[in-house]
Structure 1
Amino acid sequence: MIHSEFPPTKIHKINRELLPTPEQVMELIRSRRSNRAFSKRAISQEKLDLIAEAAYRAPTASNMQQVAFTLITDPAKIRLITKFTMDTFGGILKLVENPLLKPVLKLVMADVYRYVPAFKQMQDDYAAGSDKIMRGATAVLLIHSPARGRFGAEDANLAYQNASLVAQAMDVTQFYTGFVLTATRQRKGVLEKMLGIDGRIWAGMALAEPAFAMENYVDRKDISLAVI
């Protein structure tokens, strides 16, 4: 079958001999974990390219394929991401600790106050020269799409999971940049402008070669599954 959007050059026969067994896929999934024990060794460009390709091949809503990627290996740019995040958290701390606003904010922003001790500790660590945002990552993959897209967050996080599993398969350690994304939601468009990104960042992955190999995985809490 020929389709105008799928010319013959874009169609490839599946090599079923290369497909993993369900057991192999599940072992990869079980072994995947956020690992912040980073080494200073650079990740090869070949590995980074495969991680980016895995992300790009994820499905998108209505097959719109509007997801784009920014791969950062420049240490100065990675430090910029950390500084942006810490500056944002500093502003949040000033707001929530304002004695005039605190009684009201505790009612409407109770979830934020849960993180205040962590924010303060990160500020102290950052002032002492310890980066608890990027944690020594040698590469960062940011996943973004048009700001007005209806399914940008969903598409980006599907792409993230693809990239995460391929990174795991190559023993490249990684974690989800949740604090960075929290900061981008507070100051929309600011980090994107700093990095020259057209659109909105919806997901991010900090990457590095591991300081050591994980030999075990730990079971999660018992599954909560309702069958209706």
Structure 2
Amino acid sequence: MTLRIENKSCIACGKCVQVCPAGIMVRSTDGKGIEAVRTDRCIGCGHCVDVCPTGSVIHSDFPPQRVHTVDTSRLPAPEQVLELIRSRRSNRALTPRPIPDEALQRIVEAARYAPTASNSRQVSFTLVTEPEQLRRIADFTVGVFASTARKLLHPVVRTLLKPLRPDLYRYAARFAEIEREHEAGNDPILRRATALLIIHTPASNRFGCEDANLAYQNASLMAESLGVSQIYMGFVLTAARMGRKNAFARIAGITGRPQAIMALGIPAFRYSKYTER
């Protein structure tokens, strides 16, 4: 990686100094220019390149063809952004129609643009659209919860554990209902979604959960803008963590640890109102 300042065009505005999180950009000792020091500390965030008004920051990770001018005329107004956020719903009334590939790719692209701690960029995205693979994920989830319910409802375990963990027994009966609904073909887990977006990180990533859920929010808002329903798959994520080691990863075809999972589908209808919260 190379990083330098083109002194002939630099106007020493100091914007790069203000935004560099690694403290690489500094004013020269005479105060008339900018210097790049300790460049080995660069995390590759690109802040310096994007903020420079004259294109004087030369960074090998960001050649000119990868740098784009922001067209502020295309940005949504604050009222439009807030309306989108207010109207976003986890619409579980889905149709069997597949989501267009272009829409899925836009959702993933939006997720990729989310920030990550120290710009680690260790978040990966896996789209599952094959019906058989989706069925296996639903089967796995139901199986984990059914097994857990049977253990919790065992008379001896129930007598000993319920007084200590009453919160667990709030869900035990629901687990049994989910198993019955699943066996009847009602798909209580995926809600007949035609795609799953699995956001995963290396197990060693200390901030994997936080990074993944920032990405999830980007993807969720993009899906909403495209008219695609999105549902947080808390049951699937919990089952992935409760099941046998790497069992979910093998079924889903991912590496690392799943941190957030979104079900996606074409809604049967859209909500026409939103309630104040």
Task: Please report the RMSD computed on the Cα atoms of aligned residues, expressed in angstroms.
Answer: 1.2
| Aligned partner (choices 262, 265, 268) of residue 205 of structure 1 | 262
Mapping 1:16-27, distance limit 5 Å: 16-27=72-83
Q: In structure 2, what residue type is equivalent to 1:213?
A: R
SS at match of 1:100: helix
Q: In structure 2, what residue type is equivalent to 1:103?
A: T
SS at match of 1:24: helix
- In 2, Cα distance between equivalents of 1:189 and 1:219: 41
- In 2, Cα distance between equivalents of 1:19 and 1:105: 54
- In 1, Cα distance between equivalents of 2:91 and 2:67: 36
- What residue is the counterpart of 2:49 in the other structure? none
Deviations 1:178-216 (A, max 9, x none): 100110121242111222211011101101111012101
TM-score by length of 2: 0.77
- In 1, Cα distance between equivalents of 2:107 and 2:165: 37
Give how far 1:103 is off: 2.5
Pair 9,110 (structure 1): closer, same or farther in 2 beyond 3 Å: farther
Give how far 1:118 is off: 1.5
- In 2, Cα distance between equivalents of 1:90 and 1:205: 22
- What residue is the counterpart of 2:100 in the other structure? 44
- What residue is the counterpart of 1:223 in the other structure? none
- In 2, Cα distance between equivalents of 1:128 and 1:113: 24
Task: Give every structure 1 segment of 4 or more consecutive aligned residues whose post-TM-superposition deviation is greater than 3 Å.
Answer: none
Pair 128,104 (structure 1): closer, same or farther in 2 beyond 3 Å: same
- In 1, Cα distance between equivalents of 2:162 and 2:58: 59
- What residue is the counterpart of 2:216 in the other structure? 160
- What residue is the counterpart of 1:10 in the other structure? 66
| Aligned partner (choices 62, 82, 86) of residue 30 of structure 1 | 86
Greater gyration radius:
2
| Aligned partner (choices 244, 253, 271) of residue 214 of structure 1 | 271
Task: Choose 99-108 or 84-93, whichever is displaced more.
Answer: 99-108
Q: In structure 2, what residue type is equivalent to 1:219?
A: E
Give how far 1:128 is off: 1.2
Q: Does 1:97 align with 2:153?
A: yes
Mapping 1:21-170, distance limit 5 Å: 21-170=77-226
Q: Which runs of 5+ in 2 are unaligned?
A: 1-56
- In 1, Cα distance between equivalents of 2:98 and 2:145: 29
What is the aligned residue count? 220
Mapping 1:151-190, distance limit 5 Å: 151-187=207-243, 188-190=245-247
- In 2, Cα distance between equivalents of 1:10 and 1:152: 27
SS at match of 1:165: helix
Give how far 1:177 is off: 0.4
Q: In structure 2, what residue type is equivalent to 1:52?
A: V
- In 2, Cα distance between equivalents of 1:140 and 1:157: 15
Q: Which runs of 5+ in 1 are unaligned?
A: 221-228
Give how far 1:113 is off: 1.0
Deviations 1:7-33 (A, max 9, x none): 333221111111111111000000101
- In 2, Cα distance between equivalents of 1:13 and 1:21: 19
Q: In structure 2, what residue type is equivalent to 1:3?
A: H
- In 1, Cα distance between equivalents of 2:198 and 2:67: 28
- In 1, Cα distance between equivalents of 2:164 and 2:256: 29
- What residue is the counterpart of 1:225 in the other structure? none
Task: Choose 159-168 or 6-15, whichever is displaced more.
Answer: 6-15
